[in-house]
Amino acid sequence: MTVFPDRRLRRTRATPALRRLVAQTRLHPAQLVLPVFVKEGIDAPQPIASMPGVSQHPLDGLAAVVDEAARAGIGGVMLFGVPAGRDATGTGAVDPGGILNRAIRVAAEAAAGRLTVQADLCLDEFTDHGHCGVLDERGGVDNDATLEIYARMAVAQAEAGADVLGLSGMMDGQVAAVRQALDAAGHTGVVILAYAAKYASAYYGPFRDAVESTLTGDRRTYQLDPANAREGVEEALADIDEGADVVMVKPAGPYLDVLARVADVSSVPVWAYQVSGEYALIENAAAAGLVDRERAIGETLVGIRRAGAETILTYWAIEAAGWLRDGRDLA
């Protein structure tokens, strides 16, 4: 006698319409943010060899990029500056005429409130040694001297028109220092996005091409050890205590466990950054015919969202937003 199963869980998977009806994880274009690289001294987009489909943009072309992003319905753009010159203390980061602060002004005008203008707050793109802070006499990163520059950088970015400041330097006390500086300057409404659990990762490699990083060595003394999950949660809670409005886990894919743990305990929104290496791996695998490109992109975005990210920074933001608007399944 044949024994039939009492429960048939496959019933709700039978058609695309049924799968959409019972989907437990949903993603909206407004939950995507596009990282944008703005390079000083160029007059046309320059493709980034290690990131197929991604370019450095000239300042004159930024308004069009922001307009495209706004029309796509995504939640924001995260701006990174690539300056023509660098020095030991990253003076271009605090200069109102520096490339990043000029880009913020252009983006804010182009956005006109249709999306959020976000700015990377870190010194690595502006220092000639490539570290995220100033160096002490022994060549290590001086945490507290760096905080003083971050505070000035924050005010400069707020005055340029940034809605959200992305504190990515992983200095102890950076959220408190920036919040105090912003409030003292009258910028109480500017949002602090703390890159709370930012790991010392090999997945940042293509990004360093994108910003033309001058780093030698590594950032293991201030970015998190990939072996430590609990430490990522502790960092997030510390940033929340200091006044962070949003906390971030970065990279996203290799740290979904950390993302889930942070989301479980956070009292503020939790975001994740699908970084350059994650992007490049899929693009190159797809170009080699090893994976279905669109399904792989969609599956990773859904996985990040499922783990607890309420917003995802991704280089596929505009493309994925188009798929979502068209009602296509991402995974």
Residue 227's contacts (CB-CB under 8 Å, 6 or more residues apart) are none
Distances (CA, A) of 282 to 141, 149, 286, 306, 331: 34, 37, 6, 19, 14
- Cβ atoms < 10 Å from Cβ of 179: 22
Show the tokens assigned to 214. 């001058």
Residues 6+ apart with CB under 8 A from 257: 229, 307
Q: Active-site positions?
A: 198, 250
The 3 state secondary structure assigned to the chain is CCCCCCCCHHHHHCCHHHHHHCCCCCCCHHHEEEEEEEECCCCCCEECCCCCCCEEEEHHHHHHHHHHHHHHCCCEEEEEEECCCCECCCHHHCCCCCHHHHHHHHHHHHHCCCCEEEEEECCCCCECCCCCCCECCCCCECHHHHHHHHHHHHHHHHHHCCCEEEECCCCCCHHHHHHHHHHHCCCCCCEEEEEEEEECCHHHHHHHHHCCCCCCCCCCCCCECCCCCHHHHHHHHHHHHHCCCEEEEECCHHHHHHHHHHHHHCCCCEEEECCHHHHHHHHHHHHCCCCCHHHHHHHHHHHHHHHCCCEEECCCHHHHHHHHHCCCCCC
